[in-house]
Chains A and B, each alone.
Chain A
Amino acid sequence: MLDGKPPTERIPILKMGEFLLVTIQVEMHDRLVMTLQDELTQQIVRHRARGVLIDISALEIVDSFIGRALGNIANMARVLDAETVVVGMRPPVAITLVELGLNLEGVRTALNAEKGMALIRQRLAGTEPGRLDARGS
């Protein structure tokens, strides 16, 4: 499923039905995140994926570049009409990101993969309750 390039370090993208699963199990660095961006967008198009789940529960350190790149990847997937959810963020990572001013606006999040998958299914079924906002009642 990966291109014929030499299998250096890369992040696996798993296809499950109409969903793509990305589990980041290694420490991210700048090159890796750019590769992921390339491959994920290609695969979404190739498989006509409707949902993308990015699991970052193993990620312990983020810097501003990785944080922004994660947000970009999620937004790119959304532009390609795939419901994207980032799951499993650790508390220190979340705190770091908001301290860096990266709130990842527009990116859906969930506590774990299970909840994330439920969220994607709800979205695709059109039963998702929508974000709480100032007009929420």
Chain B
Amino acid sequence: MAEHTSKLATILREHESRILADWIGLLASAARSGTLDKADIEENARAFVRLLADAMRTDASGEIDGPAWAKVREMLAALSASRARAGSTPSATASFIFSFKQPLFNRLREEYRSDAEGLGRDVWIATVLLDKLGLFTTEVSQRSREDIIIRQQRELLELSTPVVTLWEGILGVPLIGTLDSERTQVVMENLLQRIVDTGASLAIIDITGVPTVDTLVAQHLLKTVGAARLMGAECIVSGIRPQIAQTIVHLGVDLGNIATKATLADALVLALARTGATVTRTAPRA
């Protein structure tokens, strides 16, 4: 087994330039015009073949997790990242690695000629190896995407739940996005803490940015309002769009006896009246 693998490494080393030339020719004809720089592709191909030959010389076991393959992995990770930035799909990057099979197999066929058994074995070894490497690039790009998604989720959660002071004793909670149980928890904690900090007795929850209100969202709203009430603060729900009002009634959602207003402005007027403040116009309407 080791004998055959080492032969693969030898062939790869001896005919490196020839295989590379074949591959580059293949890539050039396959490359769609304009998506990726041709010089870049050539450079990538050259680097890959060189590192592959090096790695196979030191570690021919076919396991790409070993230390001998660190440089190959590194190169593929960088390749996958740069291609993803350039707008390539993960499968396109994997195809790039898979496309190396054709020139390599051609060369193997010429080398082995009549030795069908040896050819079969080496082709199999090479296939398994290149498949692993190709899948590795997919894995890397998937992992980096997942990282981005997780980070964005965390940022969204923080971004979308501010509690602002609208007036002395009046807090505003503008909700943006769907209200799930996790968001509700964050909103509730923020709101209750601000009630303690500011001593506010009124909170206006504005749901203009909430796309839909179904029974679950309503339940979360009721929970938030209930918790605020237990802390001695009453809530007004504002920013109910006509569509939302229709949905609420059609679904039979019960908002209890929460005060609701169509706009934040109306809610603020109500809240100001409750705190005993009045707003007076000092200049005529423009």
Contact = CB atoms under 8 A, between A and B. Distances in A.
A98 interface: yes
Contacts of A93: 230
B232 A91 contact: no
Interface stretch (B26-34, B97-105, B188-196): B188-196
A102 B231 CA distance: 13
A47 interface: no
B199 A95 contact: no
A137 B257 contact: no
B259 A89 contact: no
A38 to B, nearest CB: 24
B206 to A, nearest CB: 16
Given A91-B196, A94-B231, A104-B230, A133 B223 contact: no
Given A95-B227, A98-B223, A136-B259, A110 B270 contact: no
A94 to B, nearest CB: 4
B234 interface: yes
B232 A111 contact: yes
A91 B236 CA distance: 19
Contacts of B132: none
Contacts of A17: none
Given A94-B192, A98-B223, A98-B226, A132 B231 contact: no
B258 interface: yes
Contact of B230 (A97, A133, A137): A97
Nearest to B224: A98
Contacts of A131: 234, 257
22 contacts: A86-B230, A91-B192, A91-B231, A94-B192, A97-B227, A98-B188, A98-B223, A98-B224, A98-B230, A99-B223, A103-B226, A104-B230, A109-B232, A111-B201, A115-B232, A132-B236, A132-B270, A133-B257, A133-B258, A134-B258, A134-B260, A137-B270
